[in-house]
Amino acid sequence: MIISKLKIQNYKSIENMTLEFVEGKNIIVGQNNSGKSNIISAINLVIGEKYPSKRFDEKFYFQNSDYFYIILQLSNCADFDKEYLNNYNKKTGIYSLTGDLNYLINSADELDEMGFSSSWKDSSQVIELIESAKYIYISLFSRKNEDTIYTLMLQNYDGSLCKFKFFANELLSSFITSAIIPSERNLKSELVVNNYSWYGKLIKSVWENMNEEDKALLGQHNQDLTDVTNSIFENLTDELGKSVKDAIPYNKLEFKLIQDTKTDYYKGIKILLDDGYYSLLDDKGSGIKSLMIIELFKLYCKKYHKYSSCLIVEEPEVFLHPQARSVLSKKIDQFLTGNNNQTIITTHSEQFISNFDIKQLTFISKDDGKSEKHKILDSDFTEKEFQKINIITKTENAEMYFADTVILVEGGEKYILKKLFEIYKDDLFLDYNNVSLIKVGGKTFFNIYKRMLEKLGKKVFIIADYDNFKNEVNDFLPENLRNLLNEVKGRTSGLKKYSELSGQDKTDMDNIFEYLKQNQVYVLHNGELEDYYNKIEIEKLKQDNNISGKEVVAHYISTILNLENLEDLLIIDNDFKEYIDLIIKDLSKNPDDTSKKHLE
């Protein structure tokens, strides 16, 4: 089974949110404190290895709410561990209900009081019900000062519902195996050895499958358990070592029995690592812990779990250098290869959102203390448009997915614009306002970039060349202005330079410019970036420094540009400067607090 939907109401910073997940990779991005951790926390409450608390503190409830609920929807219901569930010998009470999903938040006692009766099903009957279900819903409902209601319900294809009277860990274990790794790595809670945790099952399975020779050694040499333990875990140690060696330089890795736990010796197994300092994995940094947990979970799923598994990692990049981040990103992707596994990660790192499908991405923002989600769905674009978006996601512009505001340019304008924002405002203005300057690589991409980014909840500005009026700018005009532009083109033999227009032609174009400007599409009247150069000075620079090419020249100008030489190099005290002023004013927290220099 996979997680297909998560509905949250009144939980922490989330008032009301529904998140859709796809099979395979899912990526959640957003600023710090936007609510990403609360999403992972909500999932962990419902399907984590720790049974939910009986009651929750005030901090779990959104603002002044007196209740919260979390509902997790699973799909691909036929994919579950039937053998494991078949060994579940207890009878299970099942309510047969109409198709009202509000029954999710009702306890068994409430259903009994409402007059519903349950029938008892054995394991084979429960398996049959699950196999024929369309969705499985796991829900948690908590009201202040009342006991938590934690329930399981199936929805059939005809809309009818089957609700379980009791929800045991054995049922959850058969549906989905998940490893949930929060940003604060705590091995005592993440690598728990018990009968229900995936790590406990991994260690127990390896232990119980020891060979006869090791069994004899264990019986004869109880005092030398360390050597026996190393022998038992030799293969797992080798495989784990091969998996992590390209990311963690180490001298020694072993599983070691730390304490005598009588007959359940395997429960005392701990991992030690010599990465220059021989110590327990518990004592290592968060980056190493992350990598080891993920690799262990991958090995467990590969060797002992035949069904879908979900790996959920919060900020996998924590305390890893860039190369190690790339390695870990590839290893998470490997977890998805050749099966129906699923990953959900929250990240601030570009290494984890390279070469992805835009429908895998969810952007979380926060406004007035409330988290909101933004996601692109199948219905938002045509198939042809998605093909174009997939080209965009394979560029090196991943930083734009983390931004609140994106300024789109065609090419070399990026370098000079960045410098002008520093000159007219301050060095950190763009960073303070979480703004990305992005090269789209071609004027035909402006529209698809803008629509995609706005669907993800971002403010978008475009600074485009005058020749975009030939075709591309039509995408941003209503029909009456498109017709007006065509009339001007007809009267001016295709469209003269703006400086050559006069009379009605100039008036009509000014109206078009003004409409675009009101919609944050800023078209350079003079033509393109090079038309704002002081040509004599720039030609001299090119010759003196032996440089050529539009972007190379633009980049070089940006490296030497300052307030003192600005007017010598550029002629921008016109629409170009006006556009920068408008963006600064729009983004400034105090609209009256515009540039320290640009309005003087």
Residue 317 counted as domain residue: no
**39 and 100 co-located in one domain:** yes
The DSSP-derived string for 28-76 is: EEE-TTSSHHHHHHHHHHHHSSSPPPSS--GGGB-TT-SEEEEEEEEE-
pLDDT of residue 211: 81
Same domain, 59 and 166: yes
Q: Are residues 170 and 234 in the same domain?
A: no
Task: Name residue 219's amino acid.
Answer: G
Residue 244, CA distances (Å) to 76, 108, 248, 256, 257 in order:
32, 47, 6, 18, 22
Q: Which pLDDT score is estimated for 593?
A: 44
Domain check: are 167 and 69 in the same one? yes
Q: How far apart are the first and last CA of the chain?
A: 63
How much is the pLDDT for 470?
A: 80
Q: Which DSSP helix (H) or strand (E) runs through 413?
A: helix 413-424
Residue 398 shares a structural domain with residue 545: yes
Residues 279 and 422 in one domain: no
Query: Distance between CA 53 and CA 62 in Å, rounded?
Result: 18
89, 138: one domain: yes
Does any domain span residue 519?
no
110 domain-assigned: yes
Total number of domains constituting the chain: 3
Mean per-residue pLDDT pooled into runs of 10, the chain (600 residues): 91 92 88 86 83 82 90 86 74 84 84 86 84 89 87 88 80 77 66 70 80 74 68 86 79 71 65 80 76 80 77 81 79 77 86 81 87 89 87 80 90 88 88 89 85 90 88 86 90 86 91 92 89 89 87 88 89 89 83 39
Residue 214 lies in a domain: yes
Would you list the DSSP string of 157-185? TTS-EEEESS--HHHHHHH-EEEEE-SS-
Segment (H or E) for 461: strand 459-464
| pLDDT value of position 261 | 47
User: Whose CA is closest to 198, among 215, 217, 173, 223?
Assistant: 173
List all residues 6 or more positions away from 521 whose beta carbon is below 8 Å from its beta carbon. 461, 462, 464, 473, 476
Structural domain includes residue 60: yes
Q: What is residue 145's DSSP assignment?
A: T
Q: Does residue 595 fall inside a structural domain?
A: no
* Other CB atoms within 10 Å distance of the CB of residue 230: 14
336-369, pLDDT tens digit by residue?
876 678 889 888 888 788 778 888 889 988 888 8
Claim to verify: residue 210 and residue 113 sit in the same structural domain: no
Q: Are residues 44 and 90 in the same domain?
A: yes
In order of 121, 172, 277, the CA distances from 79 in angstroms are 20, 13, 43
**95 vs 120: CA distance, rounded Å:** 9
Domain membership of residue 480 (yes or no) is no
Domain CATH for 132: 3.40.50
Give the residue from 123, 142, 177 where a domain finishes: 177
Task: State whether 41 and 129 are in the same domain.
Answer: yes
CA distances (Å), origin 59, targets 10, 11, 72, 569 = 11, 9, 21, 57
Domain's final residue, options 177, 212, 234: 177
- Domain assignment of residue 437, given as a range: 382-465+524-587
Both 159 and 223 in a single domain? no
Q: Residue 164 in contact with residue 138, Cβ under 8 Å?
A: no
| 220 shares a domain with 128 | no
Residue 292 lies in a domain: no
Q: Pick from 126, 143, 177: which residue ends a domain? A: 177
- C-alpha 183/C-alpha 431 separation (Å) is 24
